[in-house]
Every structure is written in C-alpha cells, then in structure tokens.
Amino acid sequence: MEDLRNHFFLTVGQLLDQAAIGRLRVTLELHDGDVADGVPAAAGDADGGELDDTGYPRRVKVGGRLVVLDSVRRATIVGPDADPADQE
C-alpha cells in the first residue's frame, strides 16, 4: 500500500510541475474537503520547499494558497481548450 501512496504523490508532483510550466489551472481536493484551485507556482516558489523522497516539494502554492501534498485526495487539470471562464 505504501508503494501505491508514494506513486500517487509522485504523479501529483509531476502534474503540478508540468501545469506550472504550461501555466495550466489545476484543482486539488484535500482530505479535509477543502479545495485549492489555480495555476501552481513553479517548483521552489513555495515556502519551505523541502523535498520529499520522491524529489518533489512537500508543499506547493496553488492559486496563491500553500498546500501540503500529503493532504491531496484528488488532482485535476483544466485543458487549454476549456471555456475561458475555467482558466485563470
């Protein structure tokens, strides 16, 4: 089960990294039911950018909000051809 958990967070880290490069909007649903929405900051722009064992920061800014990756339950990305109202 730990390998599956690690793979999930590695995938989320890669998604956020690529979305930051492309300036694409993401939505992160957190375990507590809260939602972070917006374009993620580039890697290293988050406060306390310490890396986890996957090589990605433990925290990332999404839409100006600092999110701890361990708290992410679901991550989605909005495509560039989406309704402009869905983009930042």
| pLDDT classification of 74: cutoffs 50, 70, 90 | very high
What is the tens place of the pLDDT at every residue in 14-55?
Answer: 999 999 999 999 999 999 999 999 999 987 655 555 556 666
pTM: 0.79
Q: What is the pLDDT of residue 3?
A: 86
Alpha helices by DSSP H, listed for the chain, are 2-22
Domains of the chain and any CATH numbers = 2-79 (2.30.30)
* Distance separating the N- and C-terminal Cα atoms of the chain: 36
Average pLDDT over residues 63-68: 91
Who has greater pLDDT, 46 or 72? 72
CB burial string 60-77: b at 16+ within 10 A, e below: bbbbeeebebeebeebeb
